[in-house]
Amino acid sequence: MNDVPDKPQLSRLFRFQWEEAQGNYVLLYPEGMVKLNQSAAEILKRCNGERDIVHIVTDLEQSFSTAGLEQDVRAFLRTATERGWLV
What are the tens digits of pLDDT across the range 29-83?
999 999 999 999 999 999 999 999 999 999 999 999 999 999 999 999 999 999 9
CATH 1.10.10.1150 fits 15-82, yes or no: yes
Quickly state the pLDDT bin for 3 (edges 50, 70, 90).
confident
What are the tens digits of pLDDT across the range 19-31?
998 899 999 999 9
Q: What is the pTM of this model?
A: 0.93
CA 16 to chain centre: 9
List C-alpha distances in Å: 65 to 37, 47, 52, 56, 58.
19, 20, 20, 14, 10
